[in-house]
Amino acid sequence: MKDTSVPEQAVSQPAHVLQHLTQALPGLTPELQKTAAYVLENPNEIGVSSIREIAVKAKVKPNSLVRMARRIGFEGYENFRKPFREQIRRGGYDYRDQAKWLQSLGSGGQPDSIYAEGAAATIANIEKLYAMNKSVDIKAAADEIVNARRTYVLGVGLVNAVASNFAYLANMAIDNVVSIPQEGSVPVDGLVRADKQDVLLAMTFKPYRREVAEAVEAAHTQGVTIIAISDSPASPIFEGADYRFLISVDTPLLFISTVALSALLESLMAFVIADLDESVIASIERFHQRRYDLGIYLEESQ
């Protein structure tokens, strides 16, 4: 930064950058005011469009954007728009903006950047998972699943496959875990007979799914033990939950990252297996042997 008068917070968040630009607007030249006005009215373009694209839309020269950034204390336009790009990398914009940002990297000859951004986000999400959640809580949640009459696993949309996979794996060892909703139904249908003897393992992430929140609310009313997994302490499924697991789903790619969710469920499954007595080994062996007997698995060559 060339101008030390720029508040430190002005470079940390897009909202702060825009606020600082608004405050500086009266002191800019007419050309820079025109440039700044477009930026303030179209903030979603900053992180996803090139400087030339914005200049064309604002009907100014590209250098005007550079001068605007420098005039308010930034070293250049790239420094000015860095917080906006960071927000997109963390999944802070909508899908259209993220897609456009990825395309800008690809068209700019930066495929390695896409790979590197994805790797960084994946590693960060895993690190946050183990930093934000305690093994003793995962163990306690596993105890609930083992001792429950039935455990319902609820995940819809993007996380449905992850939720279903947990139920599938659990059923190799125990037969009281089911995935909901069943085809042709809604989540609350699957919980109609659930009560205090049962467990609901539910997950949803921004933008939160209404049917999941409603199912959790219904389960809470019925006395069901609730294990909730989400991405914010303010998540609607955390209210009234008996166990809350907070994970990060940030990604520079589209939608959300399910890496941390998969890792958490793998840990939960490991505790479930560890919780059971030796009969679980025989149960898993019978499961796999039956698949060999039915020809589902390919026989390994000797």
Residue 174 maps to which CATH number?
3.40.50.10490
Whole-number Cα distances in Å, 55 to 41, 75, 177, 216: 14, 19, 57, 49
Instruction: Report yes or no: 212 and 202 within 8 Å, Cβ to Cβ.
Output: yes
Split into its structural domains, the chain has a count of 2
**147-197: pLDDT as tens digits:** 999 999 999 998 999 999 999 988 887 889 999 998 878 999 999 999 999
Same domain, 232 and 267: yes
Phi and psi at 121, nearest 5°, equal -65, -40
Q: Are 207 and 181 in contact (CB under 8 A)?
A: no
Q: Could you tell me if 102 and 185 lie in one domain?
A: no
103 in the same domain as 139: no
Q: What would the pLDDT profile of 23-62 be if each residue is shown by its tens digit? A: 888 899 999 999 998 888 877 778 767 888 889 989 999 9
How far is residue 170's CA from residue 75's CA, in Å, rounded to a whole number?
A: 55
Which alpha helices (DSSP H) does 59-195 contain, by range?
Answer: 62-71, 77-89, 95-107, 111-132, 135-147, 160-170, 187-190
d(CA 188, CA 207): 20
In this predicted model, what pLDDT tens digit does every residue of 64-95 receive, in sequence order? 999 999 998 898 998 898 888 777 666 554 55
Q: What is the mean pLDDT of the chain?
A: 83
- Expressed in angstroms, the distance from the first to the final Cα of the chain is 67
Q: What is the pLDDT of residue 110?
A: 55
What percentage of the chain has pLDDT greater than the value 90? 44
pTM for this model (two decimals): 0.64
The number of beta carbons lying within 10 Å of the beta carbon of residue 70 is 18
Which residues constitute the domain of residue 173? 132-293
Query: What is the reported pLDDT for 114?
Result: 65
Residues 238 and 272 in one domain: yes
245-262 pLDDT per residue, tens: 999 888 766 678 899 999
The Cα 12–Cα 160 span in angstroms is 35
